[in-house]
Structure 1
Amino acid sequence: MSAQMSLVVVFFSLHVLLASGLKELRVRPGQAATLQCWGPRDAHITLLEWSRPELISQGYVFFFQDQRSYENYQHESFKGRVQLRDSSMMDGDVTVIVRNVRVSDTGIYKCEITTSSTRNDKRVVSEFKHSINLTVTDTGFTEGESKERGHKDGGDKNLSFFNFVLILSCGLLGVMVIVTVAVNIYRKKSF
Structure 2
Amino acid sequence: MAVLTCPSFVALFTCLWILVQTEDQQQITVKTGDDVTLQCLDHRGGDIELLLWLRQDPKEDIFVWKHGKMFENPQHPSFKNRVELRDPEMKDGNVSVILRNSSINDIGTYECRVKNSNKTTPPQLITTITLTVTDSGPEAGRSEGGGDKDGRNKDVALLMCLSVVVAVVVAVGFLIYRKRKRLSEQSFYNLPVVETSELQLL
Cα RMSD over matched residues? Answer: 3.6
Structure 2 unaligned runs (5+)?
A: 1-12, 161-202
Structure 1 counterpart of 2:126:
129
Q: Please point out which of 49, 52, 57 is paired with 2:55.
A: 52
Is the alpha carbon distance of 1:136 and 1:114 closer, same or farther for their aligned partners in structure 2, counting shifts above 3 Å? same
1:4 aligns with none
Whole-Å separation in 2 of the counterparts to 1:148 and 1:129: 17
Tell me the TM-score normalised to structure 2 length: 0.57
Aligned to 1:5: none
The 3-state SS of whatever aligns with 1:71 is: coil
Change (3 A) 1:19 1:140: farther
1:149 is displaced (CA, Å) by: 3.6
Q: CA deviation at 1:55?
A: 3.0
Contact 1:41 1:90 in 2 (8 A): no
Counterpart mapping for 1:141-160 below 5 A:
141=138, 148-150=147-149
Secondary structure class of the residue paired with 2:42: coil
CA shift, 1:140, in A, is 4.2
- Decide whether the 8 Å contact of 2:50 with 2:115 is kept in 1: yes
Is the CA contact 2:49–2:66 (under 8 Å) kept in the aligned structure 1? yes
Displacement, 1:90?
A: 1.3
1:24 and 2:21 matched: no
Label 1:50 to 1:42 Cα distance change in 2 as closer, same or farther (>3 A). same
TM-score (norm 1): 0.60
**Which of these two proteins has the greater Rg computed from alpha carbons?**
2
8 Å contact kept, 2:32–2:136? no
Match of 2:135 in 1: 138
Equivalent pair of 1:51/1:109 in contact (CA under 8 Å): yes
Q: Give % identity.
A: 36
Map Cα deviations across residues 119-164 of structure 1 (whole Å, 9 max, x no partner).
xxxxx44634211111111344269x855444xxx956xx99x9xx
Relative to structure 1, is the Cα distance of residues 137 and 66 closer, same or farther in structure 2, using a 3 angstrom cutoff? same
Q: Does 1:102 align with 2:110?
A: no
Separation (CA, whole Å) in 1 of partners of 2:103 and 2:45? 35
Aligned pairs for 1:41-190 (under 5 A) are 42-56=45-59, 59-117=60-118, 124-125=119-120, 127-141=124-138, 148-150=147-149
Aligned length: 141
Gaps of 5+ in 1: 1-11, 118-123, 167-191
2: distance between equivalents of 1:18 and 1:39?
16
Q: Which amino acid aligns with 1:115?
A: N
Taking the aligned partners of 2:135 and 2:152, their CA distance within structure 1 comes to: 18
Higher relative CO (Cα under 8 Å, sequence separation at least 6) belongs to: 2
Deviation beyond 6 Å, 4+ runs, structure 1: none
- The 1-side partners of 2:79 and 2:43 are apart by 26
